[in-house]
Structure 1
Amino acid sequence: MSKAKENLAEQVIDLCNLVAYQSGSIVSRMLVYTKAGTITVFAFDAGEGLSEHTAPYDAILQVLDGEALITIADKEYPMKAGELIIMPAKIPHAVHATTPFKMMLTMIHA
């Protein structure tokens, strides 16, 4: 049985409370999925991460809570809550949570 998509339009959303930390896991929740792009919120337990990969589109990573080490083309960027970084399309990147860490990822489909 398929689940109906949740319509979050015209709602005030508390991003930090949208996904909960789970021990040893990465939790995600997609907020927007359109031809123009996607917005997804993630919660990573400390030590969890996304291994190096590429994406066909630019991605904007905004740290909501905690700290992470973001790697883009072998250059490391330590990041904390309130910061964001743009990960260019087709460039290898990775995400590693150094503490429990929440982020919002916006993919721009061009």
Structure 2
Amino acid sequence: MSELFEKGAILNMTEMVDYSAGGIISKQVLKSDAGNITLFSFDKGQGLSEHTAPFDAVVEILDGEAEITINGNPLLLTTGQTVIMPANIPHALFALQPFKMLLTMIKG
């Protein structure tokens, strides 16, 4: 586990990942048998193509603006907003502007 995510310390997730020109950065915060938490940054125009996951996932937008499509339904999310992506339902993400998110995946 990276020392970046020290347990028992106050963490500012928005400041713990930078943007990468034309890229996507991911940093694993926690991982256990119950699920995992990952911090991401996406530059404008970047995204994740449609896919499914076998468990529910919570996306919290920490900075910026993203379009998250769940089962064909596009949703516009901005800083401070959260959406729950249900297990086994197709979803995709696209950066309308550079954005950072915290992804929490819980295994059922």
Q: Residue 57 of structure 2 aligns to which amino acid in structure 1?
A: A
CA distance in 1: counterparts of 2:2 and 2:21, whole angstroms: 26
Q: Which structure 2 residues correspond to residues 82-101 of structure 1 after superposition, within 5 A? A: 82-101=80-99
The Cα offsets for residues 18-40 of structure 1, whole Å up to 9 and x where unpaired, read as 11000000001000000011000
User: 2:2 corresponds to which residue?
Assistant: 6
SS at match of 2:97: coil
TM-score by length of 1: 0.94
CA distance in 1: counterparts of 2:90 and 2:62, whole angstroms: 23
User: 1:27 corresponds to which residue?
Assistant: 25
Structure number with higher strand proportion: 2
CA distance in 1: counterparts of 2:47 and 2:74, whole angstroms: 14
The Cα offsets for residues 61-84 of structure 1, whole Å up to 9 and x where unpaired, read as 000000000000000000100000
> Among the aligned pairs, what percent are the same residue?
46
Please point out which of 75, 86, 104 is paired with 1:77: 75
Please point out which of 40, 59, 62 is paired with 1:61: 59
The Cα offsets for residues 2-53 of structure 1, whole Å up to 9 and x where unpaired, read as xxx2352101111111110000000010000000110001000000000000
Give the length in aligned residue pairs: 106
Over aligned residue pairs, what C-alpha RMSD do you find?
Answer: 0.8
Task: Flag structure 1 segments of 5+ consecutive residues without an equivalent.
Answer: none
Task: Flag structure 2 segments of 5+ consecutive residues without an equivalent.
Answer: none
